[in-house]
Amino acid sequence: MSSQHVPQATAERLPLYYRTLQHLVTIGKTRISSSEFGNLVQIDSTTIRKDFSYFGALGRKGYGYDTQHLMEFLRKTLYQDELSKVVLIGVGHLGTALLNHNFQKNNNTKIVRAYDVDPKKIGTEISGTEICAMDELAGADNHDITAAILTVPAAHAQEAADLALASGIRGFLNFSPTTLSLPSNVYVRHVDMTVELQALIYFLNHAMEQRNSQ
């Protein structure tokens, strides 16, 4: 990745760009303009050009972007040439669904272990992933694990994160509806589906009100 600082909002859009480019390359699309690309990903073309400008000259004026070249660049930028191993903490309904899915459309990410407190689940497997006891987490050597996915109740999320941190994990995807208190060198992404749904409802109703007022 370029040494130039890349804004968080830009970094968050890169996986969407990469996935779209994968599809374009698959269907034989060899080049695309920023306006065409914007229509596909539903992002303003000016924003796309600015996002790509952080990484140097990725396109050419009057030509657009070479989809194969851009896809390969983003694959390296997003470290998709490496296998990212993650663990899952909390094998409830959501955790079970994630294990059954286990990033089937992304061969570069894999849930390698799961942890839970239910003795009926410990020692079993879901879609080939072993479920271990939570008591084993803190003593495990997870320094080779990229991140932990937290799908535990909010009341137990901090404790689970602390155990994972003690095992060497420094990245978290938190589905628990609570804020975690972790060191500054730990990266956390919160996925609160209630908040996302409330935002969606707001935008839908706001758009409807605007149409009705015209």
Q: How far apart are CA 28 and CA 138, in angstroms?
A: 48
Residue 168, annotated as binding a ligand: no
Q: How far apart are CA 169 and CA 87, in angstroms?
A: 9
Which tokens is 195 given?
């908040």
Residue 14, annotated as binding a ligand: no
The residue type of 19 is R
Report how far Cα 102 is from the mean position of its chain's Cα atoms: 13
Q: Is 160 exposed, middle or buried (0-12, 13-18, 19+ CB in 10 A)?
A: buried
Residue 112, annotated as binding a ligand: no
Residue 90, annotated as binding a ligand: yes
Residue 58, annotated as binding a ligand: no
Residue 150, annotated as binding a ligand: no
**Does residue 175 sit in helix, strand or coil?**
coil
Pick out the residues of the known binding site. Answer: 90-95
Pick out the residues of the known binding site for NAD(+). Answer: 90-95
